[in-house]
Structure 1
Amino acid sequence: MQDDFYEHVNGKVIKEKKAENEGESWDNFASLSDRVKEQIGSISKDLKDNVDKYEDGTVEKDVAKIYKTALDTEGREKAGYGTLAPYLEAIKSVDSIENYLQVLGEIRKELGKTSLITFLPEVNPKNSEKYALFIDEPNMLLAKDELEDEQGITDIKTYVMSILEASGMEGKESEEWGNKLVDFYKDIADAALSKVEKNDVKLTTNYLTDEDLQAKLTNMDVKKFIADSGFESFENRVVINTRMLEKINGYLTKDNLELLKQYTTIALLNDFAPYLNNKFVEASAKFNQIENMETEEKAWESVKTLAEFEIGEIYAKKYFSQEKKAAVEKLVSDILAGYKKHIDSLDWLSAESKEEAKNKIDNMAVKIGYPENYTSFVKGNVKSTDEGGTLIENAIAISKLKAASEIAKGTKPVDRGEWGLSPQIINAYYEASGNQIVFPAAMLQEPFYNENASYATNLGAIGAIIAHEITHAFDDAGSLYDDKGNYRDWWTAEDRNSFTERAKKFIEYFGSIEAVPGAKVDGELTLGENIANTGGISVISSMLENDIEALKEMFKSYATSWVSTMSDDDTKAQLKSDVHAPAKVRVNGVLSATDAFYKAFNVKPGDKMYVEPEKRAKMF
């Protein structure tokens, strides 16, 4: 136990699951995913079989209407591009960079879709009551690290060719364009931010005026493009990757016009491929690795994308009780109180910074299960096949309403009730700009939360995740925001310096851990998550104080929740790109840095889990 706590707790399960899954990776998230898939499957079957029992105006009826058009394969073939056709024709007819940018702006304004220049309305970092216009990286279809991988290059070329051929291009020509576009994606990816850079708030928060932007984007009229896109009412512009501006500007030349036209066509068809005919659906399904699904399942996948929060509303009503919501809220309240007490015990923070930190906890918004008020882009906006509706027209109608909603944010205060995840999603997050933690309903069930389990068991499973998300308010990124979600360094200079030194120790500590033979953790890439893991465990450990048996139960529950059968090769791939440390490191590495673990299990020098006190990574 003191040599390998993770293996001691999970060894039997790992052996069983490896046999059951024939060597494939498995973890508790996979187990929960299977459960949620069954739950969502029950909803889809009910909507398909009992569509007529729901009254008009109900969320069930609206989702059923979309589902009916998704299942209508003949209607999808006949519909063709529908009212997407004029946008595709507009791209095809472009004869100048000025005209290209105008069409690009119209597509963003009317459909909310992006390609070369990505506009996103997000909370203003320096004034969290208002939205700012963020300028993000171009649509690359795959992430930077995937475009630097041989398999990723093969996948994207195959996909681009499939989309071009589905749209009527001959094989030889599609291959030529496939090669050109792959080179384009690779070149764009070269200027894209790495995952470590994306976590650097200072690097990604760049306020630029229109004049600043114009100086960098000399081959376009910046103000006109912003107006054409519908975002002229936004006061501030925030550029996420300033070096990308030079790359974009370099492509805005007449010599690149045909390349840009094909690129934007692919981007638009990629956005709507799941709602078009079978050739597009199959190309999209293969690219997104769902090609083995039955036709009905693929149809439901398209519905899930279009009506995510509507399905979430149905899911929450069916599977998440008010009693469970209240119980989880009570647990969160306990952890928040424990966190404040824990902050007071820290010997490296000044009284001034402690008060700021506790104030941040006092003002942290807690969202459990589902939104109090749902914003629907589906209600009254879609048609069933009986009403002459088609899937592509429903998709376009929803996209247009979403686009209009985004543009309207320029003159509205920030909606604090908005959720970034729908209730049926298995995840949770902390949002610095809103100083809030969000836990969708799907996450709040076995194996992470059990209403009949002991307090210590739940504390070690879902409680550790809750405390983890709270700790993100104080990690290398979250610590730069105050209690109102404003980008403000509220630390004293001395405390910030101490934080920086401790962060270096985290990078060194976790970077020295060999996750699998021959491959160590990237301490810099995983810094924020490691701070959240160790801080979360420290807080819930302090809540159990001197109850040794409860501590033991909690630590075992924590280890159990992160059981995984990931292969060494998959782990090595994870180490290169995932900001989270592998499961075994998340248990053994974190617990070896946790003083209460030593007390609970009498870990001593000579035990493999033992780390000298001065070498343990500690922040909170």
Structure 2
Amino acid sequence: MKKSILKSSTSILVLSMILYSCGSTEKTSNPQQPTGINQNFMDKSFNPADNFNRYVNGSWLDKTEIPADRTRWGSFDELRKNTDDDVMVILKEAISDKTIDPNSDQAKAIYLYKTVLDTVNRNKAGIEPLKPYLAKINAVQNADQLVALLAEMEPEMGLGFFGSYIGADAKNSNKNVVYVGTGSLGLPDRDYYVSNAPDSKEKREKYVLHVAKMLQFMGDSEVVAKDNAQKILALETKMSTATLDRVERRDRRKTYNPMAFADLQKLAPTVKWEAYFTAVGIGKVDSLVVSQPKYIQAIETVLKENQVADWKAYMQWTALRSSAGLLSTAIENANFEFYGKTLTGAVKQRPAEERALATVNGRLGEALGKLYVAKKFPPEAKAKAQAMIANVMQAFDNRINNLPWMTKATKENAKNKLNKFRVKIGYPDKWKDYSALEVKAPEQGGTYFENSRMYARWSHKKNIEKMGKPVDKEEWGMSPQTVNAYFSPTNNEIVFPAAILQPPFYNYKADEAVNYGGIGAVIGHEISHGFDDSGSRYNADGNLVNWWSEDDLKQFTTLGSALADQYSALEPLPGIFVDGKFTLGENIGDLGGVNAAYDGLQIYLKANGNPGLIDKFTPEQRFFISWATIWRSKMRDEAIKNQVKTDSHSPGMYRAYVPLQNVEAFYKAFNIQPQNGMYLAPDKRVKIW
């Protein structure tokens, strides 16, 4: 559910997973039999038919405080913290291992980790590591020099305006092509720049103050820094205004604009594109894809205006902002004041060791992943997950067959796409090769800043090497220790890293009703992403090709609009509403996922027998309770404001029950009647997949 895990991916979990405890069954009263439902988190003073989230999660909500170093807290956050603790133990064991090969991938992970924590040398260096880059920026005198510098710096430090990369062609998913994308902005979404809503205006004002404060680390006087901060906001606003809004960006048809090289040159004639592509290492380009042509035209205008001082201020700020976490703790902490506290409401930073581990996981995740799966991922978990996936896939196939609004021809196309799904579980068959990556330990003179630059150059080179080669569909977009999952439309694949397929989130020894309500619904969610309003635009081969009849597509769009309207009515804070159109893909994923997982459970029970009541709950009740447990969460107000602008997921408290209000089996499981709070009139319930 989180976008851009890869350039063309959709992942599920931004909020929560499940923490399970053991309990007794009605049949055996065996305290060792795991059920997966912690009844201590429930508040049974509430009627589940009136307030299902409070019934399932009420006690947890009342007793839980968001940790000071978090902006939200829920089942997923707890699980991720536990997983990070496991990986930290593995990393420290590797650090203590005197026999480890100093040239191994694991050693490189250790070296990077140590340099992140080497704050003594980071503080001693201060802003010095950035000064050579700032000097190059300051030397720019015209547009040609600006573009030349962008090309020179792209392999290790993007300076904004625009960028390029190699990725799968959306209409020929086996082929890699050149993409030209938008530049970097300091605020996380267009809405912060263009909206006059109170929160956006407030954040803009605080952003200018923050930029002015940060620029003084580079030696600017307070007066000059304030003036440059205003110039930066003005330039970024001009650039942002030319971009697609958050709903438009979800429509791949609008961001897929193939053109000949000559047409790009006409779009922005001031840029010497041939020289640019040569300098970044791509070489001669005959055709390419421009994500947002209107934006490139706006950059042409910016270059023609020739406001060189404004360009420099923007590039210096972009360089400082992207490097703030690599420099002194004073710079890092000042950056956190805005991006952590102001934007998302965090009270304090996470511990330094946790931040260092996050860096290693992000850059050398598969190096640690090899060690992680050996210790934490039993083969039994994978085997049982495969069986569950097969049942949920079968259920989705059955649901396609039974759709009343879809014609036979379109159903066959949908089933063909489903049958061609690739499924990846646990970890890659072929691990990432880090042999060409150089990382130096502190005792070797290595620094966090320089190791980051070397990683950026290595990553850029790996990307450029894809040019002219077929797409590697064995590549993973997440490391095994990532508590998440994703769907890739161009690969037509669903991917489940090991960390999401283990206790306590998923217990292969536990009650299947709870597992289907948890990981089963995650599986269903990822399958449904192939058929949401965005994923459904790709065919069985992962190509952006329409496979719908005109009438069926109209029906699908109408149903999606009805679901979007449900969510757009939700108001998590006064005057702050969920954007149903922006979150539509994830909401379709939730609705389709819970339906397919429920039907998958019925397939399992038919084949293996119904265990009956456990903890006085039927399998169907346990399934829905498990689903709501997944999405228990608390968020700080500023985090909610930021999420509705920038995150395509609805807040977790709504995911716990809103999809269920559209599911007939939910009404039967808890005897929900018209007078109950959870009741939605039949004609208001949305059934898509």
What amino acid is the match of 2:170?
A: P
Q: Is the 8 A contact 1:275 1:302 kept in 2?
A: no
Structure 1: distance between partners of 2:353 and 2:64: 29
Of 225-234 and 398-407, more deviation after overlay is shown by 225-234
- Aligned 1:507-518 pairs, distance under 5 A: 507-513=564-570
Q: Match of 1:593?
A: 662
- Aligned 1:265-344 pairs, distance under 5 A: 265-289=316-340, 292-293=349-350, 299-344=356-401
Q: Write out per-residue CA displacement over residues 596-620 of structure 1, whole angstroms, 9 at most, x where no aligned residue.
A: 2223233333333222323211110
Question: Which of 436, 459, 467 in structure 1 is aligned with 2:516?
Answer: 459
Q: Match of 1:533?
A: 590
Q: Match of 1:477?
A: 534
Q: Determine if the alignment matches structure 1 residue 506 to structure 2 residue 563.
A: yes
Structure 2: distance between partners of 1:135 and 1:23: 35
Q: Match of 1:397?
A: 454
Q: Is the 8 A contact 1:510 1:522 kept in 2?
A: yes
Q: Match of 1:10?
A: 57
What amino acid is the match of 2:60?
A: V
Q: Write out per-residue CA displacement over residues 338-377 of structure 1, whole angstroms, 9 at most, x where no aligned residue.
A: 2112211212222222221122122111122222222244
**Deviation at 1:299?**
4.7
Structure 2: distance between partners of 1:60 and 1:28: 30
Q: Is the 8 A contact 2:437 2:454 kept in 1?
A: no
Structure 1: distance between partners of 2:233 and 2:624: 48
1:208 aligned counterpart, secondary structure? strand
Question: Which of 102, 115, 128 in structure 1 is aligned with 2:148?
Answer: 102
Q: Is the 8 A contact 1:57 1:380 kept in 2?
A: no
Q: Is the 8 A contact 2:590 2:655 kept in 1?
A: yes
Q: Match of 1:142?
A: 187
Structure 1: distance between partners of 2:552 and 2:117: 59
Identity %: 31
Structure 1: distance between partners of 2:249 and 2:401: 32
- Aligned 1:210-609 pairs, distance under 5 A: 210-232=261-283, 236-253=287-304, 255-289=306-340, 292-293=349-350, 299-377=356-434, 381-513=438-570, 520-545=577-602, 549-566=618-635, 571=640, 574-609=643-678
What amino acid is the match of 2:77?
A: A
Q: Is the 8 A contact 1:51 1:64 kept in 2?
A: no
Question: Which of 132, 137, 142 in structure 1 is aligned with 2:177?
Answer: 132
Q: Match of 1:618?
A: 687
Q: Write out per-residue CA displacement over residues 434-456 of structure 1, whole angstroms, 9 at most, x where no aligned residue.
A: 11112223333445312232111
- Aligned 1:56-75 pairs, distance under 5 A: 56-75=102-121
**Deviation at 1:590?**
1.2
Q: Is the 8 A contact 1:307 1:378 kept in 2?
A: no
Q: Is the 8 A contact 1:359 1:483 kept in 2?
A: yes
Q: Is the 8 A contact 2:88 2:357 kept in 1?
A: no
What amino acid is the match of 2:470?
A: P
What amino acid is the match of 1:183?
A: A
Q: Is the 8 A contact 1:429 1:439 kept in 2?
A: yes
Q: Is the 8 A contact 1:234 1:411 kept in 2?
A: no
What amino acid is the match of 1:599?
A: K
Structure 2: distance between partners of 1:180 and 1:46: 50
Of 305-314 and 485-494, more deviation after overlay is shown by 305-314
Q: Write out per-residue CA displacement over residues 32-53 of structure 1, whole angstroms, 9 at most, x where no aligned residue.
A: 23212322332343344x1533
1:556 aligned counterpart, secondary structure? helix
**Deviation at 1:479?**
0.5
What amino acid is the match of 1:127?
A: N
Q: Is the 8 A contact 2:437 2:458 kept in 1?
A: no
Q: Is the 8 A contact 1:234 1:410 kept in 2?
A: no
Question: Which of 210, 213, 218 in structure 2 is aligned with 1:167?
Answer: 218
Which ranges of structure 1 fall in alignment gaps of 5 or more residues?
A: none
After superposition, the Cα gap between the structure-2 partners of 1:322 and 1:516, relative to the gap in structure 1 and judged at 3 Å, is same
Q: Is the 8 A contact 2:168 2:471 kept in 1?
A: yes
What amino acid is the match of 1:400?
A: R
Structure 2: distance between partners of 1:339 and 1:498: 19
After superposition, the Cα gap between the structure-2 partners of 1:396 and 1:571, relative to the gap in structure 1 and judged at 3 Å, is closer
After superposition, the Cα gap between the structure-2 partners of 1:95 and 1:417, relative to the gap in structure 1 and judged at 3 Å, is same
Structure 2: distance between partners of 1:22 and 1:237: 43
Q: Match of 1:91?
A: 137
After superposition, the Cα gap between the structure-2 partners of 1:20 and 1:157, relative to the gap in structure 1 and judged at 3 Å, is closer
After superposition, the Cα gap between the structure-2 partners of 1:602 and 1:83, relative to the gap in structure 1 and judged at 3 Å, is closer
Structure 2: distance between partners of 1:241 and 1:155: 29
**Deviation at 1:501?**
2.0
After superposition, the Cα gap between the structure-2 partners of 1:520 and 1:128, relative to the gap in structure 1 and judged at 3 Å, is same
Q: Write out per-residue CA displacement over residues 224-254 of structure 1, whole angstroms, 9 at most, x where no aligned residue.
A: 3233322335554222222212221111136
**Deviation at 1:25?**
4.6
**Deviation at 1:295?**
5.1
Structure 2: distance between partners of 1:159 and 1:318: 44
Q: Write out per-residue CA displacement over residues 394-450 of structure 1, whole angstroms, 9 at most, x where no aligned residue.
A: 222221111111111111111112222222333222111111112223333445312
Structure 2: distance between partners of 1:517 and 1:393: 46
**Deviation at 1:492?**
1.8
After superposition, the Cα gap between the structure-2 partners of 1:521 and 1:120, relative to the gap in structure 1 and judged at 3 Å, is same
Structure 2: distance between partners of 1:344 and 1:4: 33
Q: Is the 8 A contact 1:97 1:254 kept in 2?
A: no
Q: Determine if the alignment matches structure 1 residue 204 to structure 2 residue 255.
A: yes
**TM-score, length-scaled by structure 1:** 0.91
**Deviation at 1:189?**
2.2
Structure 2: distance between partners of 1:101 and 1:579: 33
**Deviation at 1:270?**
3.1
Structure 1: distance between partners of 2:245 and 2:256: 15
Q: Is the 8 A contact 1:274 1:302 kept in 2?
A: no
What amino acid is the match of 1:479?
A: S
More helix by share: 1
Q: Write out per-residue CA displacement over residues 450-499 of structure 1, whole angstroms, 9 at most, x where no aligned residue.
A: 22321110100111111011101011110110111100011122211221
After superposition, the Cα gap between the structure-2 partners of 1:74 and 1:213, relative to the gap in structure 1 and judged at 3 Å, is same
**Deviation at 1:20?**
9.1
1:334 aligned counterpart, secondary structure? helix
1:494 aligned counterpart, secondary structure? helix
1:53 aligned counterpart, secondary structure? coil
2:165 aligned counterpart, secondary structure? strand
After superposition, the Cα gap between the structure-2 partners of 1:313 and 1:150, relative to the gap in structure 1 and judged at 3 Å, is farther
1:52 aligned counterpart, secondary structure? coil
Question: Which of 24, 33, 41 in structure 1 is aligned with 2:88?
Answer: 41
Of 73-82 and 360-369, more deviation after overlay is shown by 73-82
Q: Determine if the alignment matches structure 1 residue 186 to structure 2 residue 237.
A: yes
Aligned CA RMSD, in angstroms, stands at 3.0
What amino acid is the match of 2:78?
A: S
The one of the two structures with greater contact order (alpha-carbon pairs below 8 A, sep at least 6) is: 2
Structure 2: distance between partners of 1:577 and 1:62: 34
Structure 2: distance between partners of 1:260 and 1:401: 28
